[in-house]
Amino acid sequence: MGEKIYWQVEGEGDDIVFLHGWGMNGAVWANTLDALKARYRVHIVDLPGYGFSADSPALSLDDIVDRLLLQAPEKAVWLGWSLGGLVASLVALRFPGYVSKLVTVASSPKFAASSPWRGIQPQVLADFTTQLVDNFQLTIERFMALQAMGSPTARQDVKLLKKTVLSRPQPNPDALLAGLAMLENVDLREEMTTLTVPMLRMYGRLDGLVPVKVAKTLDKCWPQTESVIFSQSSHAPFITEPEAFVQELTSFIGK
């Protein structure tokens, strides 16, 4: 399990690591990369089992973290979208020497809903698992549509997601199943209260996967962290509101 995974590194300056979400790959950050590489050294990874790392899946969150640290820069800003937010959070918790600041985007320390915690209904995750076995291409397309649902630019957002994701190899089915299990079972709520690095949490007001009320709850539970809500975005604010996204990110990095 020591195989290296694919990293795209461009630009000069302070290091920023970008992690994508479930079913996606590093190509989703193309526009963000263009906006940042003149000021920062941007590291974009295809997580194990995804994109150009499709032949090298990882089946647990700990394994993903271990594989990332084989090639990751130290003292970098780590940004994780959705499932990538769980990965980045675990790196910050377990290996804080690698993380100067942590940013999560449309992410949650616990994705699955359990009263009174808001999140993805367990049946939705179970349905995705069943559908994935039958037709994983269609399942990923449905997930893309679900990520953009509610955004005023939903059709355009999905089109851009598809274009970028399909520019790299399809994800490994074993990695996809393992990722769904992580979304269903991982709970970092308590552990995250011990976080020692500055953290910014980014949310889309219209997100159906990570409800915006999660932001309000964590504002109270994690008062040492910051949060920002993008009013026109669903699950992918860096696609729906790219300029505002970059502005909020660079403002936080500069603090």
The residues that are catalytic are: 82, 207, 235
At 17, is the secondary structure helix, strand, or coil?
A: strand
Spatial CA neighbour of 203 closest among 179, 226, 172:
226
Sign of CA dihedral 231, 232, 238, 241: negative
Q: Render 146-205 in DSSP notation, one character per residue.
A: HHHTT-TTHHHHHHHHHHHHTTSPPPPHHHHHHHHHHHHH---TTGGGG--S-EEEEEET
Beta-carbon contacts of 229 under 8 Å, excluding residues fewer than 6 positions away, are: 202, 203, 204, 205, 212, 215
- What own/partner pairs with CB < 8 Å and gap ≥ 24 does 144-147 have? 144/23, 146/208, 146/209, 146/235, 147/21, 147/82, 147/209, 147/234, 147/235, 147/236
Q: How many CB atoms lie within 10 A of CB 82?
A: 27
Distance CA 218, CA 221 (A): 5
